[in-house]
Amino acid sequence: MRDSKLPYATAVLVLGISSIALCCCYGVPGILTGIIALFLYRRDKRIYEKDKEKYNNFDSLKTGRTLSIIGMSMSSLYLLYLLFAYSMVGEAGLSNPSLLLKKIEKTYKKNNS
């Protein structure tokens, strides 16, 4: 009797993949797509819990959820890195990582002296 598909399972999977792919775009798009994927996952999971035997694509829904969590984590880490780089060096540090490394080395040497 497993012939029906959950309505948002494919969308959750695509949004989960795109949250990983978009994590390098300053973090924000990856976080947004991950949040949308988790919201849609929650809707589909409620539908699935009502009649488990009716649906056959719950595995892709779970995979999309996992990918969106990974994408949101990576996006958050990248956003934190950008905020750190901006606070240490300024706007120039975002385009030139060697400036950021020099600033960190100076700070480290100053604190250890």
Tens-place pLDDT, residues 77-102: 999 988 888 888 888 777 777 888 88
Identify the H or E element spanning 52: none
Phi/psi at 26 (5° precision):
65, 15
Q: How far apart are the first and last CA of the chain?
A: 72
Poorest-pLDDT segment among 6-20, 40-54, 64-78, 93-107: 93-107
pLDDT at 35 over 90: yes
**Higher-confidence residue: 65 or 3?**
65
What pTM, to 2 d.p., does this model score? Answer: 0.84
pLDDT at 54 over 80: yes
Model pLDDT, residue 58: 92
Report the interhelical angle of 58-88 vs 97-112 (nearest 10°).
60
HSE, CB side, 13 Å, CA atoms: give it for residue 66.
6
- State the residue for tokens 């948002």: 8
